[in-house]
Structure 1
């Protein structure tokens, strides 16, 4: 069922120009506005340059992909997890992480403070 859901995400993303987290890591988080997202719509927009999607909700985990300011991606709607602490996008000692569906499967984690709901 998860694969079917992710495939549906991929089809919608391809037709609407929305990026989905891929598998080429690069960069680190950049500064942006403080406007935490709670993924209320299922779609979020990056507020930072080199905004990482990590494989676990911790800054020491590997970076799966990186988004640039203004890029959009899907998130698991109305869901976030508490994980490792980070300082990013104008917030110090935050620990909220958004869940990002990864293609072709899995879940990635993004700094809650560096995204806004769209």
Structure 2
């Protein structure tokens, strides 16, 4: 589409940034919001993914939220997000949500009920 204008968002990738150069070291699990199937839109200029997601910004509920590497109750909590902090929701799987406080991580699964109710 010659001459098309790009929409800007909080995480818009600047024009001309795309053009990955060679292999990129795979980050450790729980660090960057990057999986085999999707990544945070802010990583579009530096990491290759099948799908990039613009996050839905939510707030961690009053009890805080524990991040896990897998969406399972018996998964070890490796990071804790304080109540009232920002949570960028990137994926939903039943009662579990995958996301991060921001594109720098940490990234993991928590229960959807750990987040404050979405405002209408």
TM-score between the two structures when normalised by the length of structure 2: 0.45
- Higher strand share goes to which structure? 1
TM-score, normalized by length of structure 1?
A: 0.46
Question: Highest relative contact order (Cα 8 Å, sep 6+), 1 or 2?
Answer: 1
Over alpha carbons, which structure has the higher Rg? 2
Q: Going by fraction, where is helix more abundant, 1 or 2?
A: 1
